[in-house]
Amino acid sequence: MDGRIEGQNQARRTIHAGGEWRDAITGATREVLDPADGEPFAVVAEGDEKDVDLAVEAARSAFDGGRGAWPRTPARERADVLRRTADLLRRDREELGRLEARDAGKTLEEGRVDIDCVADAFRYFADLVAAEAPGRVVDAGSDEIHSVVVHEPVGVCALITPWNYPLLQASWKIAPALAAGNTFVVKPSEITPLSTVELIRLLTEAGLPAGVANIVTGPGHTVGARLSEHPDVGLVSFTGGLVSGTKVARAAAETAKKVALELGGKNPNVVFADACATEEGFDTAVDQALNAAFIHSGQVCSAGGRLIVEESVKERFVTELAARAQRIRIGRGTAEGVEAGPMVSGQQRARTEEYVASALAEGAVLRAGGRRPEPSEERPEGGYYYLPTVLDDCHRSMRVVREEVFGPVLTVETFRTEDEAVALANDTEYGLAGAVWTADAGRARRVAGRLRHGTVWINDFHPYLPQAEWGGFGRSGVGRELGPAGLAEYRETKHVYQNLAPRPVRWFAG
**How far are the Cα atoms of 268, 389, 413, 462, 500 from residue 293, in angstroms, in the given order?**
10, 9, 14, 10, 61
Phi, psi for residue 441 in degrees, rounded to 5: -60, -40
The Cα–Cα gap between 403 and 421 comes to: 19
pLDDT for residue 506:
84
Mean pLDDT of 346-361: 98
> At 12, is the pLDDT very low, low, confident or very high (cuts 50, 70, 90)?
confident
% of the chain exceeding 70 in pLDDT: 98
Mean pLDDT of 309-335: 97
Q: 507 or 232: whose pLDDT is higher?
A: 232
Phi, psi for residue 36 in degrees, rounded to 5: -70, -30
Q: 422 or 1: whose pLDDT is higher?
A: 422
Element (H, E) at 286: helix 279-294
Q: Render pLDDT for 181-229 as a digit per residue (tens, 0 to 9).
A: 999 999 999 999 999 999 999 999 999 999 999 999 999 999 999 999 9
The Cα–Cα gap between 79 and 82 comes to: 5
Residue 167 has pLDDT above 80, yes or no: yes
Four-residue CA torsion sign, 345, 351, 357, 359: negative
Mean pLDDT of 38-46: 96
- Contact by Cβ (8 Å): 473, 267: no
> At 11, is the pLDDT very low, low, confident or very high (cuts 50, 70, 90)?
low
Residue 10 has pLDDT above 80, yes or no: no
Q: Which of 243, 187, 184, 253 is nearest to 212 (CA)?
A: 184
pLDDT for residue 3:
42
Distance of CA 362 to the CA centre of its chain: 32
Q: Mind listing the domains of the chain with CATH numbers? A: 48-135+154-263+476-490 (3.40.605.10), 268-458 (3.40.309.10)
The Cα–Cα gap between 116 and 24 comes to: 32
Residue 505 has pLDDT above 90, yes or no: no
Helices 279-294 and 311-326 cross at an angle (nearest 10°) of: 60
Active site residue 198: no
Q: Catalytic residue among 229, 262, 310, 481, which?
A: 262
Mean pLDDT of 337-350: 97
- Alpha-helical (H) ranges within 36-183 are 49-64, 75-91, 93-104, 108-130, 166-179
Residue 100 has pLDDT above 50, yes or no: yes
Whole-number mean pLDDT of the chain? 96
The Cα–Cα gap between 437 and 184 comes to: 41
Rounded to a whole number of angstroms, the distance between the first and last alpha carbons of the chain is 70
Within 8 A by CB and 6+ apart from 328, the residues are: 290, 294, 339, 340, 388
Q: Is 365 helix (H, G, I), strand (E, B) or coil?
A: strand
Q: Render pLDDT for 147-164 as a digit per residue (tens, 0 to 9).
A: 999 999 999 999 999 999
pLDDT for residue 447:
98
Mean pLDDT of 236-257: 96
Q: Which residues of 374-399 are buried (b: 16+ CB within 10 A; e: fewer)?
A: eeeebbbebbbbbbbbbbbbbeeebe
> At 510, is the pLDDT very low, low, confident or very high (cuts 50, 70, 90)?
low
Mean pLDDT of 109-136: 97
Residue 1 has pLDDT above 50, yes or no: no
